[in-house]
Amino acid sequence: MALASLPATSSEKYPVISVARKIAFETLRRVESEGAYATDVLHAELGSAISPADAALATELTLGVLRWRGLLDFLLERLLQKPVARLDLPVALALRLGLYQIRFLQRVPARAAVNESVDLVKFARKTSAASLVNAVLRKAAAEAAEPPERFLPAGMALSARLSILHSHPEWLIDRWLARFGEARTVALLEANNHAPRLSIALHDLNQRDAIARELTSAALQIESGLLLNSALSVKGGSVIRTAAFREGRISIQDEASQAIPFLLDVQPGDSVLDLCAAPGGKTPALAHAAGPKALVIAADLHGHRVQAMRTQFARLALENIQCVQLNAVEALPFASQFDRILVDAPCSGSGTLARHPEIRWRLRPEELNEFHGLQVRILANALAALVPGGRLVYSTCSLEPEENESVIAELLACDSKLQHVPPGELALSLQPHLAPSLAARSLFYDNGEFHTFPPETRTDGFFASVLHKNVTKYCEPCASI
């Protein structure tokens, strides 16, 4: 039974706990113990029975605790005199939730934050820890006006200091300092610790003004997209409860993610393969561009994700997409080649840490090389399915070179006839889709690789490389990777 469904009124069995805090507590528990993603759990929990105010607070508490977990644990461990990791999980979560409210939510009285955290551990049948939670959070409330810098040991290395104050793993900060420098790294850390813009994709640009009026009448605040003329930024309400969403006229999607399909420059009648398609956010733009009679295939490894895509495409009334379950690490099972292929590869997701803050605590350095090997194999198989003269886009939502530039360099070294599409050509195909004040060339490096950097573009961090294949048979060394 979900915590949100349990009573919020006093009873013999359950203490009085707000619905929002129950949902946040249960979501955090599932993130930690089951490896769930917070946004997926929240989407399931925050149905129409939950008030907008409770939904907003539950989301703030959940994602706020995940973003600031490193700093919260540092401050708690001063008072506990032992690692938070040694506590039972419900006790650790109650302490983090209480301290987050004390430190970051001035609208919540400290007394309420303390009392409800105590009630949460009782609710989780950890009554013996109630006095500990009460004592630690009362001490934390007493020193809440003190800046965290005051508690740092003297002489800390820059990366260690930033790791605590900005709540990111130190190994990741070390990497970013080496590549981006201190100023851009700090800007990235700050961007990751703020709620990202909520962007929507308009599936019919001709309806832009009508949809904007409709969303405004539904009490949503609307702004134009920062990157794309087919995007809007929204806040102040629930997009998924609007008629425009239910009827498939809009979808929720970050603007950098929305931009990726445009790089393929799909033309009417093109055959299109979206190779790692789930959850299906990029496929609709490809299908619209190819037209209703074109072959469009959306493929994914997992059957449940393929089924979820079918549900998504049904909502959007897209009937020209065939959903296929396959393992892209193996040779692809298609008898013919494709004019356009999108490989939105599985990756670390390090460009999405504002949206998915739990990733920063799960990712390990060695996984970057593991992703690299997986991505090279998938890309090699995709290139074998591309027609001579066709175009392929390889993209990730990662900032890490092992998953981006190094993957492309390995494939280019395998065959000198495989080339980047020139940035000027890419800019010409992308410019019509961009916001009026944005120059397409600003999104490309000199070699044509597409990059978005969260603090600068106010989007997720995406990489894309657009490749043009001039050979009829892909080289054997890469095909056998």
Is residue 397 part of the annotated active site? The answer reads yes
User: How high is the pLDDT of residue 469?
Assistant: 78
The pLDDT-based confidence of 14 (bands split at 50, 70, 90) is low
pLDDT at 437: 87
Average of per-residue pLDDT across 388-406 = 97
Query: Model pTM greater than 0.85?
Result: yes
Q: Please give the pLDDT value at position 21.
A: 95
How far, in Å, CA of 272 to CA of 382, rounded?
A: 12
Distance CA(411)–CA(477), nearest Å, equals: 10
The architecture that CATH gives domain 255-479 is 3-Layer(aba) Sandwich (3.40)
CATH 2.30.42.10 for domain 3-147, yes or no, is no
- Reply yes or no on whether the pLDDT at 476 is more than 70: no
CA angle, 283 then 289 then 293, to 5°: 95
| Mean pLDDT of the residues in the chain | 92
Q: How many CB atoms lie within 10 A of CB 144?
A: 15
198-252 — its CATH code? 3.30.70.1170
Closest to 26 in 3D by CA, of 109, 89, 114: 89
pLDDT for the residue 474: 44
- Kindly write down the DSSP assignment for every residue of 301-361, as one continuous string: S-HHHHHHHHHHHHHTT--SEEEEE--TTSPP--SS-EEEEEEE-----GGGTTT-TTHHH
Beta-sheet pairing, 321-325 with 386-396: unpaired
Residue 480 in this model has a pLDDT that exceeds 90: no
Domain ranges of the chain: 3-147, 165-192, 198-252, 255-479
Q: Which of 347, 397, 414, 478 is labelled catalytic?
A: 397
- pLDDT on residue 2: 47
Confidence of residue 134 (pLDDT cuts 50, 70, 90): very high
* 221-236 per-position pLDDT tens digit: 999 999 999 999 999 8
> What is the mean pLDDT of the segment spanning 448-464?
97
Q: What pLDDT shows up at residue 12?
A: 41
Instruction: Give residue 163's pLDDT.
Output: 98
